[in-house]
A and B are shown apart, each in its own frame.
Chain A
Amino acid sequence: MATGPDPAKTARGNLPPLSLHVPEPNFRPGDPVDYSFLDIPPAGLLPRPDETCAATETTPLCSGMVRVLGDDHRAVGPWDPKLDPETLRRMLRAMALTRAFDDRMYRGQRQGKTSFYMKCTGEEATSVASTFALAADDMVFPSYRQQGILIARGYPLTEMINQIYSNKADKLKGRQLPIMYSCRDYNFFTISGNLATQYPQAVGWAMASAIKGDSRIATAWVGEGSSAEGDFHAAMTFAAVYNAPVVMNVVNNQWAISSFSGFAGAERSTFANRAVGYGIAGIRVDGNDALAVYAATRWAANRARANGGPTLIEHFTYRAEGHSTSDDPSAYRSAHEREEWPLGDPIMRLKRHLIELGEWSLEQQETMDAELVDLVKAATKEAEKNGILGHGLHHPFHTMFEDVYKELPWHLEEQAEQAIRERQIKWPEWKPE
Chain B
Amino acid sequence: MTEAATTTRRLNMIEAINEALHVMMERDPNVVVFGEDVGYFGGVFRATAGLQKQFGKHRVFDTPINECGIIGAAVGMGAYGLRPVPEIQFADYIYPGLDQLISEAARLRYRSAGEFIAPITVRSPFGGGIFGGQTHSQSPEALFTHVAGLKTVIPCTPYDAKGLLISAIEDDDPVIFFEPKRIYNGPFSGYYDKPVEPWAKHEGSEVPEGYYTVPLGKARIVQEGDAISVIAYGTMIHVAQAVCREKGIDAEIIDLRTLVPLDIETVEKSVKKTGKCLIIHEATRTGGFGGELSALVQERCFYHLEAPIERVTGFDTPYPHSLEWAYFPGPVRIGEAVDRLMKA
List residues of chain A with CB under 8 Å of any chain B CB.
139, 141, 171-173, 175-176, 180, 182-184, 189-190, 192, 194, 197, 199-209, 211-212, 218, 230-231, 234-235, 237-238, 241, 403-406, 409-411
Contact = CB atoms under 8 A, between A and B. Distances in A.
Given A197-B100, A205-B80, A175 B173 contact: no
Contacts of B78: 204
A237 B76 contact: no
Nearest to B34: A207
Contact of B173 (A190, A201, A237, A405): A405
What interface size band does chain B fall in? Answer: 35 or more
Contact of B109 (A235, A406, A410): A406
A208 B82 CA distance: 7
B72 A199 contact: yes
Nearest to B262: A411
7 contacts: A184-B116, A194-B103, A202-B76, A205-B77, A206-B76, A241-B63, A411-B261
A293 B57 CA distance: 36
Q: A-B pairs with the 7 shortest C-beta distances?
A: A204-B76, A200-B72, A204-B73, A234-B69, A208-B80, A201-B76, A409-B261
B111 to A, nearest CB: 5
Interface in B76-108: 76-82, 84, 96, 99-100, 103-104, 108
A181 to B, nearest CB: 9
B79 A237 contact: no
B79 A201 contact: yes
Contact of A197 (B32, B58, B84, B103): B103
Contact of B76 (A203, A230, A405): A203
A384 B68 CA distance: 41
B77 A204 contact: yes
A197 B79 contact: no
Given A201-B72, A204-B72, 4 more contacts: A172-B112, A190-B108, A200-B73, A211-B59
Nearest to A414: B264
A176 B82 CA distance: 25
B66 interface: yes
Nearest to A176: B111
Contact of A237 (B58, B64, B74, B109): B64
Contacts of A204: 72-80, 84
Contacts of B77: 204-205, 207-208, 211
Given A235-B72, A241-B64, A405 B151 contact: yes
B114 A208 contact: no
B306 to A, nearest CB: 26
B80 A190 contact: no
Nearest to B296: A411
Contacts of B66: 234, 237-238
Q: Which residue among B73, B76, B77, B78 has the maximum number of chain A CB atoms within 10 Å of its CB?
A: B76
Contacts of A194: 99, 103-104
A338 to B, nearest CB: 33
B149 A405 contact: yes
Contacts of B172: 406
B45 to A, nearest CB: 23
A141 B149 CA distance: 21
A197 B112 CA distance: 15
B217 interface: yes
A142 to B, nearest CB: 13
Interface of B: 32, 58-59, 63-64, 66, 68-69, 71-82, 84, 96, 99-100, 103-104, 108-117, 148-149, 151, 171-173, 217, 260-262, 264
Contacts of A199: 72
A266 B79 CA distance: 33
Contacts of A238: 63-64, 66, 69, 72-73
A189 to B, nearest CB: 6
Contacts of A139: 79-80
Contacts of B82: 208, 211-212
A241 B57 CA distance: 14
Contact of A200 (B69, B217, B261): B69
Given A189-B79, A230-B96, A404-B149, A184 B112 contact: yes
Contacts of B74: 204
Nearest to A238: B69
B100 A207 contact: no
Contact of B115 (A190, A203, A230, A405): A190
Given A189-B79, A200-B68, A403 B73 contact: no
Contact of B68 (A212, A218, A231, A411): A231
B110 A175 contact: yes
A241 B63 CA distance: 9
A204 B66 CA distance: 13
Given A234-B72, A238-B64, A241-B64, A190 B112 contact: yes
B99 A231 contact: yes
A190 B261 contact: no
Contacts of B173: 405-406
Nearest to A213: B58
A304 B100 CA distance: 25
Nearest to A400: B110
A332 to B, nearest CB: 27
A207 B73 CA distance: 8
A190 B116 contact: yes
Contacts of A206: 76
A156 B81 CA distance: 26
Contacts of B100: 197, 200-201, 231
A183 to B, nearest CB: 8
A237 B113 CA distance: 31
Contacts of B72: 197, 199-201, 203-204, 231, 234-235, 238
B112 A182 contact: yes
A237 B69 contact: yes
B104 A403 contact: no
B205 to A, nearest CB: 31
A136 B77 CA distance: 19
Contacts of B59: 211
Q: Which residue among B71, B99, B149 has the maximum number of chain A CB atoms within 10 Å of its CB?
A: B99
A237 B62 CA distance: 13
A194 B72 CA distance: 13
A228 B111 CA distance: 25
Given A173-B113, A238-B66, A241-B64, A207 B76 contact: yes
Contacts of A241: 63-64
Nearest to A173: B113
A172 B111 contact: yes
Nearest to B64: A237
Contacts of B109: 403-406
Contacts of A171: 113, 115
Contacts of B149: 404-405
Nearest to A241: B64
A176 B172 CA distance: 22
A153 to B, nearest CB: 15
A54 to B, nearest CB: 22
